[in-house]
């Protein structure tokens, strides 16, 4: 097994780790695992899956991520786990009563963070800091807090801090902003033609305001004012914008490289992401052959990436809340202002 992990997250097709997958991960040592609904059945099974992956790579702290924002994007949505509200619903509550909305979102984030930490999950890849407009692709929708950058930043701060307090790693997405994209980057390559001045005054602002967030996920969106051809995730120019103009110093991970905004073979996509300047390529689907191909194309984490990861880890707290009691309290807050 390699001493330095590969700059790669892998995925799995099933709720268990096969012997062949275990052997591949032991040999190649990918940094982390990304799990989805297909992998998450009940708490005991999830814990065993995570422990087995960490045993394979030989690192007890190997990151295991999922998508757990609330609303329609929450992979822990089966019977054993409470269902959390969308960011759009929290934004509605906050527009009625900003202090109450922020309090509810902080408590909900602490509950969600506690729930994930207890399972062994490192991150739910949240919060979403994208703006939303009438023209925004429906892939964002209620995942967003709205169209006001300052309002988004204020609510996003509650999510970032609430997760960190409970030992769960926030990942702000989709930097530098998916909101002006009118097409779904899962299915095609979106192009945003807004000027640099407009982007800096709007879409970029929440990410700059929360640039102390330890991790950020890079959008598969073309910003033609900077790079007319390549999505941010594979554009060296856009990585310079994120690092230098926006001042982001944390870990950069790509959005999933299976998304159709990217082109080329799986190994080519891994290379494109890492060559552009992302610290890590995210490959979340993962049958055995795909994981092997991705691993062959990946490279070890850079020293800079390792330092960024360690810096984020140093900010992890140990707060635990009663998940169901906190969730119930949040629901009472919604009822108190008659927000459905």
Q: Which residue has the tokens 């030992």?
A: 167
186 is catalytic: yes
C-alpha dihedral, 313 to 165 to 149 to 276, nearest 10°: 10
Distance CA 101, CA 146 (A): 14
Residue 316 burial (C-beta neighbours within 10 Å; 0-12, 13-18, 19+):
middle
Nearest to 69 by CA among 141, 148, 151: 141
Distance CA 240, CA 210 (A): 18
Helix (H) or strand (E) holding 335: helix 323-336
What tokens does 33 get? 């695992």
Distance CA 238, CA 242 (A): 6
| Residues contacting residue 61 through CB under 8 Å, at least 6 positions apart | 54, 313
| Residues contacting residue 304 through CB under 8 Å, at least 6 positions apart | 279
Nearest to 294 by CA among 280, 305, 308, 307: 280
Range 241-254 burial, b when 16+ CB lie within 10 A, else e = bbeeebebebbbbb
Distance CA 5, CA 28 (A): 8
Among residues 97, 148, 186, 245, the one annotated as catalytic is 186
Among residues 178, 255, 283, 285, the one annotated as catalytic is 255
* Cβ atoms of residues 311 and 95 within 8 Å: no
Q: Which residues are catalytic?
A: 186, 255
């Amino acid at each position: 097994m390699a001493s330095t992990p590969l700059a790669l997250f892998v995925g799995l097709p099933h709720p268990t780790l096969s012997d062949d997958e275990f052997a591949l991960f032991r040999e190649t040592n990918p940094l982390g695992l990304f799990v989805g609904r297909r992998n998450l059945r009940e708490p005991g099974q999830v814990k065993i899956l995570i422990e087995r992956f960490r045993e394979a790579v030989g690192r007890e702290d190997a990151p295991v991520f999922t998508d757990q924002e609330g609303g329609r994007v929450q992979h822990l949505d089966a019977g054993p786990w409470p269902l959390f509200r969308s960011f759009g619903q929290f934004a509605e509550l906050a527009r009625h009563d900003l202090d109450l909305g922020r309090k509810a979102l902080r408590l909900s984030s602490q509950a969600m963070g506690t729930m994930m930490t207890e399972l062994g999950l490192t991150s739910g890849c949240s919060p979403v800091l994208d703006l939303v407009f009438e023209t925004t692709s429906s892939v964002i929708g209620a995942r967003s807090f709205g169209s006001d950058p300052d309002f988004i930043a204020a609510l996003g701060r509650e999510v970032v801090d609430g997760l960190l307090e409970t030992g769960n790693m926030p990942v702000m997405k989709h930097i530098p902003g998916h909101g002006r994209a009118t097409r779904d980057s899962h299915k095609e390559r979106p192009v945003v033609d807004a000027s640099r001045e407009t982007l800096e005054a709007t879409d970029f602002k929440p990410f700059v305001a929360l640039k102390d967030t330890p991790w950020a996920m890079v959008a598969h969106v073309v910003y033609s004012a900077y790079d007319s051809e390549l999505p941010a995730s594979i554009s060296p120019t856009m990585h310079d914008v994120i690092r230098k103009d926006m001042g982001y110093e944390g870990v950069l991970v790509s959005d999933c490289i299976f998304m159709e905004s990217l082109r080329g073979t799986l190994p080519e996509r891994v290379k494109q992401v890492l060559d552009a300047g992302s610290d890590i390529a995210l490959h979340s689907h993962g049958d055995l052959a795909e994981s092997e191909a991705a691993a062959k194309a990946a490279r070890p984490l850079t020293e800079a990436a390792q330092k960024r990861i360690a810096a984020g880890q140093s900010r992890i707290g140990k707060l635990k809340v009663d998940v169901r009691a906190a969730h119930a309290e949040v629901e009472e807050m919604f009822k108190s202002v008659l927000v459905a």
